[in-house]
């Protein structure tokens, strides 16, 4: 597979760039992104916990002190609400059972905020799972420096969102679950003090997976907690750095009601090397 550098890509005509991104080179970005993101779900703790109450996305991050699990704060807050309503829950990250996620929490934004009140903290939750959990989850941590975080991507710079939409979840005949991976790459629309917004335009979409493009109005609920990844060219290869934690995405709706489709992430600089969250950037 031919790997193109940023210099080569910038020197291409639009048609040449589209051909490169339609090839195995473009597809490789989605393949490598999938190695970083997983699913998290929970159900009532019964002998056969197959009636899933909620599911979301998550990933591993290592800032020099070992891997920690990251998801969105509103995902964990929903877990707590379901615990209060239904009692002890069965929770699973990838194929690893986490008996009580509360015991592994490092930090969670807006934890004491009531419904309807303004949220002042980042929509991020961090966890330190038991020793040995990370290899069994089977996902590669996104690596980040322990000191100064790189600057956020600039408007127009391409970034990748990745996660597991709820509508792609399938119950198989044997009662097991299949979670469908979804990813997309387009330019950043805006960067604020707290968030990164990515609106994508359908005329530029490429079907990398061979299953056809999702219909207009396709809902991305379930990718919250997944990573917003920024490609970085280093040593002749493309790698990923973390740009943010997905907190909001387009909800399913009829095509004629769609004005634009987007993904919003809270900037990742809030996450400190020990997993705590800073109050400001």
Annotate 98-112 with DSSP letters as a single string. Answer: ES-GGGGEEEETTTT
Is the pLDDT confidence value at 281 over 60? no
pLDDT value of position 5: 87
pLDDT tens profile 169-190? 777 666 677 788 888 888 899 9
- Give residue 223's pLDDT band: very low, low, confident or very high (50, 70, 90): very high
pLDDT value of position 83: 95
Give the 3-state secondary structure percentages of the chain, helix then strand then coil, rounded to 5. 20, 35, 45
The pLDDT of 62-78, averaged and rounded, is 95
Rounded CA-CA distance 55/65 in Å is 27
Provide the residue ranges of all domains of the chain, joining segments of one domain with +: 6-270
Spatial neighbors of 44 by CB under 8 A, at least 6 apart, are: 51, 53, 86, 87, 89, 90
Is the pLDDT confidence value at 248 over 80? yes
Q: In the structure encoding, which two tokens stand for residue 110, read together?
A: 């807006």
pLDDT value of position 177: 72
Task: Give kind and range of the element (H or E) at residue 62.
Answer: strand 52-62
pLDDT value of position 187: 87
pLDDT tens profile 129-178? 988 899 999 999 999 989 888 889 999 898 999 999 987 777 766 667 77
Is the pLDDT confidence value at 280 over 70? no
pLDDT tens profile 9-42? 889 898 888 888 888 888 899 999 999 999 999 9
pLDDT value of position 209: 64
């Amino acid at each position: 597979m031919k790997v193109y550098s940023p210099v080569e890509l910038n020197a291409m005509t639009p048609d040449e760039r589209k051909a490169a991104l339609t090839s195995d080179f473009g597809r490789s970005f989605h393949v490598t992104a999938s190695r970083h993101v997983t699913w998290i779900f929970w159900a009532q703790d019964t002998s056969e916990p197959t009636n899933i109450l909620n599911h979301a996305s998550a990933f591993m991050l290592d800032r020099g002190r070992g891997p920690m699990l990251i998801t969105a704060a509103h995902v964990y807050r929903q877990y707590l609400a379901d615990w209060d309503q239904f009692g002890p829950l069965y929770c699973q990250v990838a194929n690893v059972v986490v008996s009580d996620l509360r015991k592994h929490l490092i930090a969670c934004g807006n934890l004491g905020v009531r419904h309807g009140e303004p949220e002042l903290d980042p929509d991020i939750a961090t966890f330190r799972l038991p020793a040995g959990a990370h290899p069994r989850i089977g996902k590669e941590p996104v690596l980040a420096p322990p000191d100064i975080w790189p600057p956020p991507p600039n408007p127009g710079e391409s970034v990748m969102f990745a996660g597991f939409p709820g509508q792609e979840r399938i119950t198989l005949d044997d009662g097991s679950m299949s979670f469908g991976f979804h990813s997309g790459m387009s330019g950043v629309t805006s960067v604020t003090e707290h968030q990164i917004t990515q609106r994508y335009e359908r005329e530029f979409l490429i079907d990398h997976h061979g299953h056809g493009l999702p219909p207009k109005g396709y809902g991305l609920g379930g990718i919250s907690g997944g990573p917003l990844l920024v490609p970085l060219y280093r040593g002749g290869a493309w790698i990923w750095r973390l740009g943010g934690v997905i907190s909001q995405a387009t909800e399913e709706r009829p095509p004629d009601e769609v004005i634009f489709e987007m993904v919003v992430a809270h900037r990742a600089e809030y996450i400190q090397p020990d997993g705590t969250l800073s109050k400001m950037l």
